[in-house]
């Protein structure tokens, strides 16, 4: 790896309970072997004191990226295999279509749940349908990545033998060799926005202390350093601090996945204030999606943004479509600087701040349903 630009010195983590592992972790079955599956526990690849960050030499001066705005279709939680096969086949077909016209694409990005879809399933049902990574679906997508010498990103529900009964929402990056480059856990779930329920997927925040103990702080906010740029993928909305931190760590392309809509203004601000490229990938109108009308609200709007927050390309309709743009990454790197953040002004406020919900909630208890999660988080709220 080489280093580029002049990131400012990073403040180290100051959590008082760093690496604390409660007895509750044992109760929900977290085991130490989990560390094999994720980032190494070596020193974080973060900005250095000389103002640089890690990069990999680019495969070419300009890269071509595509956003696939595709349908979302929930599988049957009791019998998910047929639906997963159909959704995967549709996804592979869309990869072929993305590569068929307009030259080869270096990166193809899908939305949050192209293989499983989303529904109000119980934990038992999601454990029945969640993907294993690596697994058959990732291998099939990997074959397409090898065929076209490209990177492919997508989101999915996933399970891991090292985290028994936990369900993760993971953003996957598959490389041109067909293998998984990065599995990026969702950092946190949003609370108080869904009528009558809360999400119960395990995020980094929900098991933070144990996660850090196993994988290290660098894996909390991961940036994949590839020959098409430094990539971070997340479905988190309305938390600019998270994306600021990713930009400080050297993220050059931020891919934002969603199902059911995203805040365009949020994405514009993220790109503009951090000086990075952005790819917002939402679902299309979705006929045949169980329990939902074709447009339940919030479909479409997928777009590719430049480092000033400008729209480079956007979906012209809410239907299934593919949008493409060329990003001059080599020229971008010559002038790019990471955010110049005046942390001395804000650190004392952030150190005293207490979030509404404490971290590590799922080291103590795993809700069995969306409604159970609502009851649990009502008890956990601090304000």
The runs of H, that is alpha helices, within 216-263 are 240-248
| pLDDT at site 337 | 87
Residue predicted with more confidence, 263 or 100: 100
Within-domain flag for 272: yes
Tell me the per-residue pLDDT of 348-358, one tens digit each, with 9 for 90 and over.
Answer: 999 999 999 99
Q: Contacts for 94-101 with beta carbons within 8 Å, 24 or more apart?
A: 94/68, 94/70, 94/320, 94/322, 95/68, 95/141, 95/144, 95/148, 95/152, 96/144, 97/322, 98/66, 98/68, 98/322, 98/324, 99/148, 99/150
Within-domain flag for 15: no
Q: pLDDT band for 34, please (50, 70, 90 cuts).
A: very low
Within-domain flag for 160: yes
Residue with tokens 């293989």: 115
Mean pLDDT of 340-369: 95
Residue with tokens 């809509």: 261
Q: Based on the structure, what is the number of domains in the chain? A: 1
| pLDDT at site 49 | 61
Within-domain flag for 305: yes
Within-domain flag for 10: no
| pLDDT at site 12 | 41
Q: pLDDT band for 192, please (50, 70, 90 cuts).
A: confident
CATH number of the domain that residue 146 is part of: 3.60.110.10
Within-domain flag for 4: no
* E strand map for 136-262: 151-159, 168-174, 180-185, 224-226, 229-234, 253-257
With 70 as the cut, is the pLDDT of residue 37 above it? Answer: no
Residue predicted with more confidence, 40 or 54: 54
What is the rounded average pLDDT for all residues in the chain? 89
With 90 as the cut, is the pLDDT of residue 47 above it? Answer: no
Q: What is the pTM of this model?
A: 0.88
358: domain range?
25-380
| pLDDT at site 54 | 87
Mean pLDDT of 68-76: 97
With 70 as the cut, is the pLDDT of residue 319 above it? Answer: yes
């Amino acid at each position: 790896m080489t280093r580029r630009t002049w990131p400012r010195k990073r403040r180290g983590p100051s959590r008082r309970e760093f690496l604390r592992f409660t007895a509750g972790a044992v109760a929900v079955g977290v085991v130490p072997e989990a560390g094999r599956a994720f980032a190494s526990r070596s020193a974080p690849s973060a900005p250095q004191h000389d103002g640089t960050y890690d990069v990999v030499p680019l495969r070419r001066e300009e890269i071509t990226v595509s956003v696939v705005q595709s349908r979302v279709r929930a599988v049957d939680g009791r019998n998910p295999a047929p639906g997963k096969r159909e959704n995967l086949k549709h996804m592979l077909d869309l990869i072929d279509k993305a590569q068929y016209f307009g030259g080869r694409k270096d990166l193809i990005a899908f939305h949050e749940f192209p293989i499983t879809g989303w529904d109000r399933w119980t934990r038992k049902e999601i454990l029945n349908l969640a993907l294993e990574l690596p697994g058959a679906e990732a291998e099939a997508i990997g074959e397409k990545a090898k065929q076209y010498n490209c990177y492919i990103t997508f989101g999915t529900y996933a399970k891991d033998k090292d985290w028994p009964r936990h369900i993760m929402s993971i953003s996957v990056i598959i490389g041109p060799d067909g293998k998984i480059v990065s599995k990026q856990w969702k950092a946190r779930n949003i609370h108080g926005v869904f009528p009558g329920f809360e999400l119960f997927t395990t995020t980094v925040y929900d098991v933070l202390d144990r996660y850090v103990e196993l994988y290290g702080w660098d894996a909390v906010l991961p940036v994949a350093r590839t020959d098409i740029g430094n990539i971070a993928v997340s479905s988190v909305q309305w938390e600019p601090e998270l994306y600021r931190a990713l930009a400080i760590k050297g993220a050059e392309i931020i891919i934002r996945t969603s199902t059911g809509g995203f805040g365009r203004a949020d994405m514009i601000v993220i790109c503009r204030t951090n000086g990075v490229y952005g790819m917002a990938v939402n679902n299309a109108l979705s006929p045949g999606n169980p329990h939902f009308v074709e447009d339940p609200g919030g479909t479409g709007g997928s777009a590719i943004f430049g480092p000033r927050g400008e729209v480079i390309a956007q979906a012209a309709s809410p239907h299934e479509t593919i949008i493409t743009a060329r990003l001059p990454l080599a020229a971008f790197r010559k002038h790019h600087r990471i955010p110049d953040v005046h942390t001395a002004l804000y650190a004392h406020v952030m150190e005293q701040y207490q979030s509404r919900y404490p971290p590590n909630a799922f080291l103590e208890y795993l809700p069995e349903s969306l409604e159970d999660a609502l009851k649990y988080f009502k008890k956990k709220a601090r304000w």
